[in-house]
Amino acid sequence: MAAERGAIRLRGVSRSFRVFHERNQTLKETLLRRRRAAYEERWVVREVHLDVAPGQSVGIVGENGSGKSTLLKLLAGIVPPHAGTVEIGGTVASLLELGAGFHPDFTGRENVVMNGTIQGLSERQVAQRFDAIVDFAELGDFIDMPVRTYSSGMAMRLAFSIAAHVEPDVLLLDEVLAVGDEAFQRKCFGRIAEFRRNGGTLVFVSHDPAAVERVCDRALLLADGRVAADGDPVTVLAEYHRLLAGSGGPAPDGSGAGERDGRSWGSGEVRIASCELRGPDGPTDRFSAGDPLTVAIDVEARRRVETPNFGISIHTIDGVLLYATNTRMDALPVADLDGRARVTFTIPRLALHEGRFAVSLAVASHDESVVYHWLDRWLEFSVFQRVTGQGPVDLSGSWALAPVAAPDAGATARQPLGST
């Protein structure tokens, strides 16, 4: 029985590659060694069973070499499995490698036609969507220049735009949002949200936990080619970070007591020694809507660290991200850190309604490539409502009602909404 449109079904899928231990330098060596070249059979995907329902958005995380990209290539049909079966219902579009499917000497225009047809569009469909593809990619006159003259960001924008306008049942993305400026990334996330609202199924590989939480309602953790965790993104990402860190890291009170339910990790060059929330009258975990809130973090560097990056994020108690920022995003100049220091982040007016919320804290390298210490949803606080309205965010405004003069007798009367 074929998979339902937009559904994905994997049964016992495995894939290996041969890794040769010696390279042939000449044609003669190749012919002479063909039958006795030493190689190792390396299994990169092992016994994967997976069911994805139509309309679901699944993020795949894991360390380098864990099999994430190979699994996407198996889903896309680029490589076949050596064992097991892969079934996908409906049409599939993929963007697995930057510039994949582009000919560098062809113009952007020619590559749109070629790549669009590879993705399953007819030439007529490509022509109908061509202007929308170019507008989304923001290429302008560059569309008639060879792709080899494009920057990596331009190539990514064009490739993503083509994949987004194919309108598939299943969309496969591999780390493509890591390239491009912030404005275009927001545009991409908007397009993905639209794709999901229209019932599309998304499989998304990323090393960015915030992107996985933002885009996906389910996450998979791959380790050594196998599914090590499968569930909601918050739980799976916590397991991923424990895997990266190898251990829980130090406790924030400096006691070295280890992790709290696996929510502390990091390389340890800088540790969060203590942290607290402060309100108008000092330390507290109870706030009224509109109160100021300060996050105070005491950190300690074990050695001199160049321009560390401090960050916080605020979530609802069930894991929905409300706000996140860091010192690099806010352009705060941070000197090298050596020894102890206090970092504070102050919100002058807490624009939240009644509820329970959690705060994550982090200190990382300036480029965020190394996490020194991360405390996931470590602090919690309650907000009590002062004004009317519903929802987690306080967007209270003011209403106004004013009479409208009756139309002139000779003027055409306005029709009530819904009338004919």
Give the SS3 label for residue 276: strand
Q: Which of 242, 264, 287 is the last residue of a domain?
A: 242
Predicted confidence at residue 12, as pLDDT, reads: 94
From the list 169, 77, 167, 155, the residue with the least C-alpha distance to 122 is 167
From the list 257, 222, 296, 297, the residue with the least C-alpha distance to 60 is 222
Q: Which two tokens stand for residue 250?
A: 């130090």
Query: Percent of the chain, pLDDT > 90?
Result: 38
**Residues 209/237, Cβ–Cβ less than 8 Å:** yes
Check pLDDT > 90 for residue 226: yes
Predicted confidence at residue 140, as pLDDT, reads: 85
- Whether 146 and 276 map to the same domain: the answer is no
Confidence tier at 325 by pLDDT (50, 70, 90):
very high
- Most confident option among 174-188, 259-273, 310-324: 310-324
Euclidean distance between CA atoms 245 and 121, whole angstroms: 44
Task: Give mean pLDDT, residues 6-26.
Answer: 80
User: Which of 153 and 24 is assigned the larger pLDDT?
Assistant: 153
Identify the domain containing residue 315 by its residue range: 249-384
Check pLDDT > 90 for residue 11: yes
- Whether 101 and 42 map to the same domain: the answer is yes
Query: How confident is the prediction for the chain on average, in pLDDT?
Result: 83
Check pLDDT > 90 for residue 272: yes
Task: Give mean pLDDT, residues 378-386.
Answer: 86
Predicted confidence at residue 39, as pLDDT, reads: 67
From the list 164, 115, 177, the residue with the least C-alpha distance to 143 is 115
**Residues 285/380, Cβ–Cβ less than 8 Å:** yes
Check pLDDT > 50 for residue 255: no
Least confident piece of the model among 60-69, 187-196, 372-381: 187-196
Q: Which of 187, 214, 242 is the last residue of a domain?
A: 242
Q: What angle do CA 406, 412, 414 make, to 5 degrees?
A: 60
Check pLDDT > 70 for residue 384: yes
**Residues 361/297, Cβ–Cβ less than 8 Å:** yes
Check pLDDT > 60 for residue 420: no
Check pLDDT > 50 for residue 101: yes
Task: Give mean pLDDT, residues 65-85.
Answer: 91
Check pLDDT > 70 for residue 21: no
- Whether 60 and 98 map to the same domain: the answer is yes
From the list 177, 195, 202, the residue with the least C-alpha distance to 92 is 202
**How many other C-beta atoms are found inside a 10 Å radius of the C-beta of residue 216?**
25
Q: What is the CATH number of the domain that holds 365?
A: 2.70.50.60
Q: What is the CATH number of the domain that holds 122?
A: 3.40.50.300
In-domain check, residue 358: yes
In-domain check, residue 403: no
Query: Percent of the chain, pLDDT > 70?
Result: 84
- Whether 280 and 175 map to the same domain: the answer is no
As for how many domains the chain has, the answer is 2
Confidence tier at 103 by pLDDT (50, 70, 90):
confident
Predicted confidence at residue 397, as pLDDT, reads: 82
From the list 42, 104, 50, 101, the residue with the least C-alpha distance to 72 is 50
Please, is 114 exposed, middle or buried when counting C-beta atoms within 10 Å of its C-beta (0-12, 13-18, 19+)? middle
Task: Give mean pLDDT, residues 184-210.
Answer: 84
**Residues 324/377, Cβ–Cβ less than 8 Å:** no
Predicted confidence at residue 24, as pLDDT, reads: 55
Q: Which of 242, 257, 279 is the last residue of a domain?
A: 242
User: Which of 288 and 411 is assigned the larger pLDDT?
Assistant: 288
**Residues 5/38, Cβ–Cβ less than 8 Å:** no
